[in-house]
Structure formats: structure tokens, C-alpha cells
């Protein structure tokens, strides 16, 4: 039987409140630790087997885990205990773990630290030292939680700001239906789309995808939006707008970043769509008879090649035609086997919903992609659907 120092320790005032999970296969150790910690204001739960420890962690929140490395099935090598450390770290990368080992098992404690444990106590333990280590780990846990809440609040504020950069209402053009959406993977992302009326008979449509995710992508997206807004007021041709937008972004885009961008002007009087594709996923044009063609990329991405000369193309739209512009987060949504949703399925959904209006078709496509990936998109996903009535 292991001995432990049981000299009385006065209850400490001011310890951070905490829930402690104690894992050990020896009843007398569990009893001694539980008595000690409860006497100092901790809430405790005890388990005598690694599997029970994992079940407790999956069911409830704890501030720290105090666990032995040797269990009845493996009393000396610590294999079960080390495996438990690894599995706990897989459940929660930030949950503090303090492991307990015999005086002769320092190497085992070192290996536990390598696998993710935060500290260790040697048996027989000293009450004051054990309490000090627990207090330190719980204090760090609470500090990390406060910092995480602060980051979450900042991200939520950023999400609100970014949402205001996207169109609240999409202007409509006589003879056409237009719908758009975005679904950021995180609180903020690098996808952008807009539909802007530029004359009584014309609207501009654009969609963009900044390389990367999170705040860096969102910051570059806000630069894109600001630069684009001023250029739209000049009523430029698609190729000239892309050229000037590219020069602006080249001044602020890091070498590792870039922006794919598709820009088009639809003239309702002539039913012609004039567009420029700067390295973006080719939009799919589904004709009324079911034929599908891609509006292929002819230009480089924005932000890396300041002297790139962009070209533009145009086409005529007829009643029943549907144009789908999207970011790669939609078509690269993968199923459990890693197979992407893909442009083929996107086109098939469009064909199967030929009677739907633009908003209904957009909903059908996004729902199909979500069903395909089980709702777990790997990237931001955005889309604009244009339908000729």
C-alpha cells in the first residue's frame, strides 16, 4: 500500500472554485484525495478505471483531472495511464492534467508530460504541494477561459461588422431574378459577394474568395470591398475594373495571399452579360434546354500580378437560363470518404429544379451540398443565382 502525507492542512480561503476529476484504482487513495480536496472547497468526482474517466469527461465539465498512471491491468509500466492521457488530450486540448506516479517512476511522468499532461505529483504526496499544483492549473484554466470568451466576443463583433459589408437586400432587374447567400465556416471569413444597380437597366454582380480563413482573410476581404465600392461608381468595363482592383490589392496583399474574383455586368435592355473572371471558380450557366457551360477563368487571381492585363467575354441570356456563381467552399464540401460535392452534382441539382425561382434554386443547391457533407463544410461557401424569367 502506498503511503501519503496526511498531516492536516487548514482550508485555504480564496482558492479558485474548481471541479476535479480524480482517477485512481486504489480506494484508499481516492478516499484520501476526495477528503482533502472537498475540505478545501473543490467539487470532486472519483473514478477507478480509465474508461470511466473518459465517460465522465464526455458527460460533464471539469477544471482539472488528477489521475494515476498505474491501474490494475498494468500496475508498473503505466501503459493504461499513458493511453488515458493521450485520449483525454484528444477530447480537450486545453483541459489541465496532473498525473500521479511513484517516486521510482519519474521517466513515466516525463512521458506523460510529452503526451500532454501539464504537471505531475509523486506518491506519497505532500498535501500542500498537491493543492498548490491544482490551484495553479485551475487558475490557468480559468485564465484561458476568460481569454477565449474575450476572443469569442471580438470575433462576434467582427462577424457583425463583416455582415454589414454584404448586401442586405439584393436589387432586382426587370426580367430577371437574383438571389445570394454566404455561409462562413467560422465567425468571419474571406468570401464576398455583391449585387449593385449601376443604371436603370444594368446591375453588376460579383463574387470573390480570399485565400485562407478567419480574421486575416476577413481583413483582406474588407480591403476588397472598400476598393470595389469606389470603382463601381465609375461604371467601368469588367476588364478595366479588374485591372484597377488588382493594382490596388497588390499593394496590400501578402505574398501568401490572393483573391479569386468574378465580375459581371448584366444589361436587361439587351439581355447581355459581360464578364471577367480573375482566377475564380467558373460559374455554371444552365440553359433552359438543360445544356451547361462554364464561364471559364481567363485572368490571374487578384493581388499578386500588378501588371496583369485582363480580358472580358459576353453572352446573351434567354428565358429560363440560370447562372450560378459560387465559391469553392460549396463544390469542395466533402462526404465521409473525402469525395467533393463537385460541379457535376451542382449542375444536376440545377437541372432537377428547373421550375424553381432563383431563391428556391439557391436553397436547393445549398441544402444538397449540406446533406452531402453532413452539414460540415470545410470552407466558407457563398453563391449568387441569376435566373432569366
| Segments making up each domain of the chain, as ranges | 19-156, 165-388
Q: How far is CA 54 from CA 22, 85, 91, in A?
A: 12, 10, 9
**pLDDT tens per residue, range 12-63:** 444 456 899 999 999 999 999 999 999 999 999 999 999 999 999 999 999 9
C-alpha cell at 359: 431563391
Cα(first)–Cα(last) distance of the chain, in Å? Answer: 84
Rounded CA-CA distance 30/47 in Å is: 8
Q: What is the model's pLDDT at position 12?
A: 45
Q: 177-186, 196-205, 242-251, 318-327 — which is least confidently predicted?
A: 177-186
- List beta partners, residue 181: 383
Are 128 and 6 a contacting pair, CB within 8 Å? no
Model confidence at 2, pLDDT cuts 50, 70, 90, reads: very low
Angle at which helix 127-163 crosses helix 214-232, to 10 degrees, equals: 10
Say whether pLDDT at 129 is over 80.
yes
Say whether pLDDT at 358 is over 90.
yes
**pLDDT tens per residue, range 71-127:** 865 555 678 899 999 999 999 999 999 999 876 577 888 899 999 999 999 988 999
- List beta partners, residue 191: 209
Domain 165-388 listed as CATH 1.20.120.420 = no
**pLDDT tens per residue, range 137-173:** 999 999 988 998 888 777 777 667 666 777 889 999 9
Rounded CA-CA distance 68/24 in Å is: 5
What percentage of residues in the chain have a pLDDT greater than 70?
90
**What does the pLDDT average to over 363-370?**
96
Which regions of the chain does DSSP assign to beta strands (E)?
A: 19-23, 43-47, 64-68, 97-102, 119-123, 176-183, 191-197, 202-210, 259-267, 272-278, 284-286, 292-294, 313-316, 322-326, 381-388
**pLDDT tens per residue, range 263-278:** 999 999 999 999 999 9
**What does the pLDDT average to over 181-201?**
84
**What does the pLDDT average to over 233-254?**
95
For 19-156, give the CATH class: alpha beta
Say whether pLDDT at 260 is over 70.
yes
C-alpha cell at 160: 457583425
What does the mean pLDDT of the chain come to?
A: 89
Q: Is 322 left (phi over 0), alpha (psi -120 to 50) or beta?
A: beta
Amino acid at each position: 500500500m502506498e503511503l501519503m502525507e496526511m498531516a492536516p492542512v487548514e482550508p485555504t480561503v480564496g482558492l479558485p472554485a474548481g471541479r476535479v476529476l480524480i482517477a485512481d484504482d486504489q480506494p484508499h487513495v481516492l478516499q484520501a484525495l476526495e477528503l482533502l480536496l472537498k475540505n478545501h472547497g473543490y467539487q470532486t468526482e472519483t473514478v477507478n478505471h480509465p474508461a470511466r474517466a473518459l465517460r465522465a469527461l464526455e458527460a460533464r465539465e471539469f477544471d482539472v483531472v488528477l489521475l494515476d498512471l498505474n491501474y490494475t491491468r498494468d500496475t508498473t509500466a503505466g501503459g493504461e495511464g499513458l493511453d488515458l492521457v493521450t485520449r483525454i488530450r484528444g477530447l480537450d486540448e486545453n483541459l489541465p492534467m496532473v498525473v500521479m506516479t511513484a517516486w521510482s517512476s519519474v521517466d513515466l511522468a516525463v512521458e506523460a508530460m510529452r503526451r500532454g499532461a501539464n504537471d505531475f505529483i509523486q506518491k506519497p504526496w505532500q498535501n500542500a504541494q498537491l493543492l498548490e499544483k491544482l490551484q495553479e492549473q485551475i487558475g490557468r484554466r480559468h485564465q484561458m477561459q476568460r481569454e477565449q470568451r474575450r476572443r469569442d466576443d471580438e470575433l462576434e463583433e467582427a462577424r457583425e461588422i463583416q455582415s454589414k459589408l454584404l448586401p442586405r437586400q439584393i436589387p432586382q432587374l426587370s426580367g430577371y431574378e437574383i438571389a445570394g447567400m454566404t455561409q462562413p465556416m467560422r465567425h468571419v471569413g474571406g468570401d464576398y459577394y455583391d449585387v449593385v444597380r449601376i443604371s436603370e437597366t444594368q446591375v453588376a454582380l460579383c463574387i470573390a474568395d480570399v485565400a485562407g480563413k478567419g480574421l486575416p482573410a476577413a481583413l483582406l476581404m474588407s480591403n476588397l470591398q472598400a476598393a470595389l465600392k469606389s470603382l463601381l461608381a465609375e461604371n467601368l468595363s469588367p476588364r478595366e475594373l479588374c485591372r484597377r482592383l488588382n493594382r490596388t490589392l497588390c499593394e496590400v496583399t501578402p505574398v501568401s495571399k490572393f483573391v479569386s474574383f468574378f465580375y459581371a455586368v448584366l444589361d436587361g435592355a439587351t439581355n447581355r452579360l459581360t464578364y471577367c473572371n480573375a482566377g475564380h471558380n467558373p460559374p455554371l450557366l444552365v440553359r433552359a434546354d438543360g445544356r451547361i457551360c462554364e464561364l471559364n477563368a481567363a485572368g490571374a487571381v487578384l493581388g499578386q500580378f500588378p501588371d496583369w492585363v485582363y480580358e472580358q467575354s459576353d453572352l446573351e441570356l434567354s428565358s429560363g437560363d440560370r447562372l450560378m456563381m459560387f465559391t469553392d467552399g460549396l463544390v469542395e464540401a466533402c462526404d465521409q470518404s473525402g469525395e467533393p460535392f463537385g460541379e457535376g452534382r451542382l449542375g444536376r441539382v440545377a437541372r432537377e429544379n428547373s421550375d424553381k425561382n432563383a431563391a428556391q434554386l439557391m436553397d436547393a443547391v445549398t441544402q444538397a451540398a449540406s446533406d452531402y457533407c453532413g452539414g460540415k463544410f470545410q470552407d466558407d461557401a457563398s453563391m449568387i443565382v441569376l435566373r432569366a424569367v
